[in-house]
Amino acid sequence: MRKRSYFDEFIGPGWPDPGEMEPFFLAPHGKRWTFLSCNDCWGLTAEGVDGTEHLPEGKGRTDIHLTMLGHADFGVLLDYHKFGGGQKEVFYSKGDLSRLWEWLETKHGDRMPIGLFIPFEAAWKAVKEFMERDGALPKSIDWIAGRDIPSDAFPEP
């Protein structure tokens, strides 16, 4: 399995040491999720999981993407995609689902449902578990399958 990062200054092969990521999640309020780039969306990738590293993309290789979208007031939305080799799994962090039709605007202009954001501390546990378990879906938080979310919860920008 090959690991890739797109997280602040950690861009490229491998995943950062958890200690280097932790402050972005657990710093005091007002200092969390602050990056020099002013970006609010980051990710970790595992390519070639489940013994498929030798296969090319789109030809049986299974990849996993964990996307992290943070907001100072609402926490972090985690988006877990596992796809390839005939499978596609999509899960989102499960926050207060009564707020699925309330949105915030990302720095890229997308509108995201507040009901999928979870506290920074819970998100950190899940991200750390994702890294410790080589891309497995973390069990430390509740997830909701993408197919179970109404399509109008993600409005067009």
Residue of 77, 10, 13, 14 whose CA lies nearest to 40 = 77
β-pairing, 111-113 vs 117-118, is unpaired
Whether 14 is in a domain gets the answer yes
Do the beta carbons of residue 38 and residue 47 sit within 8 Å? no
List, for residues 115-146, the tens digit of each pLDDT value: 999 999 999 999 999 999 999 999 999 999 99
* Gap between the Cα atoms of 34 and 38, Å rounded: 7
pTM, 2 dp: 0.93
Q: Give the 3-state secondary structure of residue 28.
A: coil
Q: Where are the alpha helices (DSSP H) in the chain?
A: 18-26, 120-132
Helices 18-26 and 120-132: crossing angle, nearest 10°?
A: 170
Whether 21 is in a domain gets the answer yes
Instruction: Please give the pLDDT value at position 9.
Output: 84
Q: What domain range includes position 92? A: 2-148
Non-local CB neighbours of 2 within 8 Å, separated by 6+ positions: 13, 46, 47, 48, 53
* Gap between the Cα atoms of 91 and 145, Å rounded: 4
Whether 113 is in a domain gets the answer yes
Whether 12 is in a domain gets the answer yes
Query: Based on the structure, what is the number of domains in the chain?
Result: 1
Token pair 């969390």: residue: 32
* Gap between the Cα atoms of 29 and 60, Å rounded: 43
Cross-strand pairs, 89? 82
Whether 134 is in a domain gets the answer yes
Whether 36 is in a domain gets the answer yes
Whether 87 is in a domain gets the answer yes
Whether 153 is in a domain gets the answer no
Which is it for the CA torsion 72, 70, 78, 18, positive or negative?
negative
Instruction: Please give the pLDDT value at position 36.
Output: 66
- Give residue 95's pLDDT band: very low, low, confident or very high (50, 70, 90): very high
Instruction: Please give the pLDDT value at position 113.
Output: 96
